[in-house]
Structures are given as structure tokens and as C-alpha cells.
Amino acid sequence: MRLPLENLAINTIRTLSMDAVQAAKSGHPGAPMAQAPVAYLLYNERMKYNPAQPLWAARDRFVLSCGHASALLYSTLHLVGTQQFENGSPTGELAVRLEDLKNFRQLGSRCPGHPEFGHTSGVEITTGPLGQGLASSVGMAISAQWMAAKYNRDKDLFGFNVYALCGDGCMMEGVSSEAASLAAHLKLANLCWIYDDNTITIEGDTSLAFSEDVAKRFDAYGWNVLKVADMNDLGALRDALDAFVEEKERPTLIIVKSVIGFGSPNKAGSHDVHGAPLGEEEIRLTKQNLGWVSEESFFVPDEVREVFRNGVQARGAQLYTEWEADFNDYCQKYPNEAQEIKTLLAGALPEGWDAGIGQMWSADEKGTASRNSSGKVLNQLAQGIPWLLGGSADLAPSNKSNLTFPEAGDFSWENRAGRNFHFGVREFAMGAICNGIATCGLRSYGATFFVFCDYLRPAMRMSALMKLPVLYIFTHDSIGVGEDGPTHQPVEHLASLRAIPNMVVLRPADANEVRYAYRWYAENKTSPVALILTRQDLPTLRRSLEPEGDACACSCGVLKGAYVLRDATNPATNLPDAILMASGSEVHLCLDAQKRLAADGIFARVVSVPSMEIFERQTQEYKESVLPSLVRNRVAVEAGIELGWRKYLRCSGKFIGMDDFGASAPFKKLYEYFGITTDAIVSAVKDV
């Protein structure tokens, strides 16, 4: 007897997932087997989604926070017919072909072990570490609310719903609690988390480590909490999804009871089916138990393809056609807003975006803290890029990260178009939320003290992995923090962020370097940027395109990562006798040391190194021009650990910095105590 068509479609998701994991000889079949009904209903009945236009700005988003269940998403994307896009254009291929499923977890397949943003169309965000998908979904929901408030006029063109599927592990991770708390505070009613409550983790039953009442927890946050007793009860699932759409003031959590490995006669309900293939015999028995229609692996019945053609494909095409007509009408009525939207969605910058950041700061011996100059440039830049928005983890007055111009406003339940976000003391969630915002095309930033980057490092790693241009503003950059002591003095943090591939770390030496650091961030499309800023004042250097005497080179050298700030050449060799390298506040110590050395007849070149990562992207010829290999007397100075500097110092160079934690004292005393001084630099150059 043939199964009802919707059950046949659901079982096709299950069997494709089982077969993919078995072919790979690794993976997680149990969750997809349990969660298939939710995936079927969301894509084929509920989501505003057009498989032919997976980049459609108004589409609903689906986030598989339990990314180990990736076979569920890949099987579904194949069946709904999602098209592959590259560089914004269709390739004419399915995003997930059958051969990709057959090569699940293999090199070159569009079905890697966990969903990866930018690799497979239809994957909205990279999910691997549990909990981050949930937190990032909050950023997506915020983006929908912000875009709707900013750009909607006669019709709702830019609001969308966000669905995130999660499991017990996501619920245990702390970042989901941070994000859930903020989502409720902001009343993100367009956000729906679906919790697959199967009570199984890798080690066994969740009772080993997890006994809280999740429903009560989310009720206390202020969520709309719904329960479905059986994942296979499609009627109850539909009712819960209806209740989500009807809710207007709270995010929704749907707690769905399921049986992991549903259908498996010998492994269902067991952790044995969580993270390992079922085995050929158990797959045969499972398909038999499900009433499956073929013994062939990766078999898709023709009538199932018809179900999705008549469902999501037909409905999605109609919705997209209607939206396109509405948007064309919008373009006629509101040409300025339409141009903004087109620029935003293209990942481009608006005309004249940099008008506000062009003014140079005049030389000033007292100067200002780079956090102060950062705050001014950030505000200038935000007025040139209307979709630049963000906030701080409760430290905006210290980070100088508030947008203070009148029309900026605070994002809240009452003001969805506000551009200042109050993340609260939730650093990890802040980073993940910024990632979610960035996937929607907006430019996002988050700010906190530099030492607290440890709290949000996992989100920063995801920014770098996804090539999202998120801006991280970190102030209080070194032992220069002073009296707060070693718990608040970052020592190893510069090196640790530089160790993240594709993370660009920028530590400017004065206000004009800050200005160019922001320019590099704005023009960059594929790297997150960590901007490292001081609390203490830094002199604003005198600059010249053709520096003479005490003048320094143009701060535009920041755009190359490192540059000759002030040169000195020995006439006998046409080379400097020594090279002094530094970033940030320590650059000024090198400039003082250069003068001292000159008085002793030693010609020292000072090189400002605001970003090693940008410098490494330059040509070998340029790098040689800044750091000529014939000059072996080299000194690097940074109020952090040495790690990372040796490639520029080479074997004979010396490092002046930290090799331990800091201490509590005024910052000038600390620099003296730890030997980060002009005297130390001069001695290091002479001690050859």
C-alpha cells in the first residue's frame, strides 16, 4: 500500500539522509530521521521561499542550529530544487545535486559535514558549534525588523520570518541563553525556534547532565512557548506554526518531542544513532519499517518531486513574482530608497560614502585616545553608510561606539529603525548576532573592552570563516588600561586574534591612522576587522606626503598594513642602520628612540605596523621596500606578547613587550616597570 504523498515526501528526506551518511561512513543520521516532518512543513507549506531565487531579500530564513544534522538540510534543498548561485548569479545547477549527497562530507561536494555559508546556496549561515545558529538567527530577525521599518512604505516588502531548528546541545550552550534573553527583551515576534526535544546527546540520555524545565526557562524570558507531543503529528505542528505567525509581541519557542533515528527498529531512541551510520542492514530494516518503496539507495519517487513542484516551487515562484511587481512599483514611487536598497543588496557602498571621513586631524602633541577618534570617525562613516549599525556589550560610553547624530536612534520595540543596539553584558551573543545581521547584507559592528574578546572569540571565528565584514571595536587595548589590573589588561590577545585566518587586526597609532583603518574596513567585503584602540591619549603626528625633519609619512600607508612612518638612511649604505617596528601606542616610543639614536649617529627607520594581515597581502616588492632584508638590526615593540613578530624580526631581531600578565598601577608606571620604554629600544639597537 502506497503511503500518503506527504508521508512519502517526509520519508524521502529521511532515506536520502540515511543513505548520505552511510555513503560517507560518517555523520549524524538520527536527527534528520526525526526532524524530517518539520523540514517538510516549513519548506513546502510555510516559508516564504523561492528555490529559484535563494538570495531573494524578502525570503524567510531557515537556520539549522544543530548543524551536525546537515543531511536534513541538504536532502531538503535537493528535493525543493534550490538553485545554485555564485557571485550573485545562477549557475543553472541545483545547489545540492544527487551526486553531492552521494559524496556527503567529501572534498568538492556541496554537502560538507556542517552547513557552510557561501558554499551551498540555501545555507543561510555556517552552523557547527552548537548554539551559535540560534544566536545568529536573532541577528537575522533584527535585520528583518530594521529593514521593514527603514524601507517599507505601502506594503511589507522587507520583513521576513526566521525559523531556527535546534536540539538539546543548543539549549545547553550559554550563548543561546544570552540570545534568547535579548530576543525576548526586543520582542522579536518574527523569530521562531523549534526545539527538537529528543533527550539524547552523544554520551547518552540528557538526564546525565540536563534536567532543567526548558519551557519554564523560556516562559521566564518572555517567550511564547508552545508544545507538540509528537514530531510526526503534522496537524499539531501546523497549529503551532500558525500560533507563531499570529503572535505579535513575543518570539516563539516550539518544543517538539521526537524519537531520534525514527523508523530504525533497533537504534531508534538511542545515542547509537546520533553520530554514526546505521549500517547497511539497519538501513534495509528501517526502510522496510517505514514502508519505503525501493531498495535503491538515493531513490526519489517521481511523485515526491511533483509534491515539491506543486508546493514550494509553485508557491515560491508566485510569491516572488508578486514581490517583484511590488518592488518595481516601489522603485517608481521611492527612487532614493530603492537605490539605497539596491546598493545595500549588491554589497556596494553608496556614492559619497566617505565624504565625512576625509578631514585630516592636525598635529597635536597631546592628541587624543584612539577610542575617541574612533568614535568620531564611526559617526562620520555611519552617516555615509545608512545601513551601518551596531552597539556595545554595555560599554558604549567607554567604547565611544554610540552613533550620536540625531537620526540614529536606539533599536527597540518602539523604534525598529534605530541604529544603536544595546546588547547588554552578552559579548558572545553580540558577536553571533552581528554575524546574523551581516548575512542579510547590513554592515554590523560590536564593541567591548579588548580583554573581553575572549568571550566572543567563537563568533569572531565564524565571521572569519564566513568572510563576513563584521567590525569589532575593542578599546582599552593593553597594559595602558592601568589601574584596572591584569584581569582587564590584554596581553596575549593581539597574537590570538592574528592567529585566526582571514581576521584583520588593525591597531592604529594616532587619529589619522584610525581614519584610514575605517576606510580599509568600509572598502573590504570579505574579512572581519578587529579595531584595537587605546584609552590613553596618543599624540597626533605631523604628516606630509614628502616628509622632512620631524614630519611623518601620510597615514594612507595604513591601507598597506605597514609603512615607513619616518625614515633615516645611512649615506654610506643607502639603507637604515636599524628598523624599529611597532603598532598603536608603542609607535611613539619608536619615534622618540629614533631621535635619540640619531644623536648618536645611528640611522633608524620607524615602521608603523597597524595590521600584519594587510601587510601580508602586499607584493613581495613592497614588503622588501619597507623591511629590506639586508637590514638585520631590527626591534619590534608592542605592549603584548611576541608571538607573530618573529617573521619580521628574523633570528637576530629583538622584541620589547610582555611575557607575563600586567599589574595594577597608572599606565606610565606600568610601561616603565615592564621595560617598554625609549631607553629599552635604544639599548636593544646598540646591543648588537
- DSSP alpha helix (H) spans, 167-228: 168-172, 174-185, 214-221
Which of 97, 102, 98, 96 shows the shortest CA–CA distance to 115? Answer: 96
The CA-atom distances, in angstroms, between 321 and each of 56, 92, 233, 328, 599 are 11, 20, 33, 11, 75
Strands 604-608 and 563-566: antiparallel
**Cα-flanking dihedrals φ and ψ of residue 582, to 5°?**
-165, 165
Q: What share of the chain is helix, strand, coil (3-state, %, to 5)?
A: 45, 15, 40
**Cα-flanking dihedrals φ and ψ of residue 619, to 5°?**
-70, 160
Contacts of 423 (CB under 8 A, 6+ apart): 182, 391, 392, 393, 394, 429, 430, 433, 446
Contact 150, 49 (CB under 8 A): no
Alpha-carbon gap, residue 590 to 657, rounded angstroms: 13
Which of 459, 508, 454, 475 shows the shortest CA–CA distance to 401? Answer: 475
DSSP string, 298-336: T---HHHHHHHIIIIIHHHHHHHHHHHHHHHHHHHH-HH
Alpha-carbon gap, residue 73 to 71, rounded angstroms: 5
Alpha-carbon gap, residue 614 to 503, rounded angstroms: 10
Enter the C-alpha cell of residue 86: 555564485
Alpha-carbon gap, residue 458 to 435, rounded angstroms: 11
Concerning whether 624 is annotated as a catalytic residue, the answer is: no
Contact 400, 374 (CB under 8 A): yes
- For the chain, the maximum distance between any two Cα atoms, rounded to a whole number of angstroms, is 97
Alpha-carbon gap, residue 321 to 311, rounded angstroms: 16
Which of 246, 227, 213, 219 shows the shortest CA–CA distance to 46? Answer: 246
* Per annotation, catalytic residue among 124, 427, 513, 613: 427
Alpha-carbon gap, residue 571 to 567, rounded angstroms: 12
Alpha-carbon gap, residue 600 to 580, rounded angstroms: 16
Alpha-carbon gap, residue 13 to 393, rounded angstroms: 41
Alpha-carbon gap, residue 278 to 267, rounded angstroms: 8
Give residue 411's identity as a one-letter amino acid code: F
Which of 390, 374, 370 shows the shortest CA–CA distance to 470? Answer: 390
Contact 606, 594 (CB under 8 A): yes
How many H helices and E strands in the chain?
25, 22
Contact 303, 19 (CB under 8 A): no
Alpha-carbon gap, residue 276 to 279, rounded angstroms: 9
Contacts of 614 (CB under 8 A, 6+ apart): 504, 506, 520, 558, 559, 560, 561, 562
Active site (catalytic) residues: 427
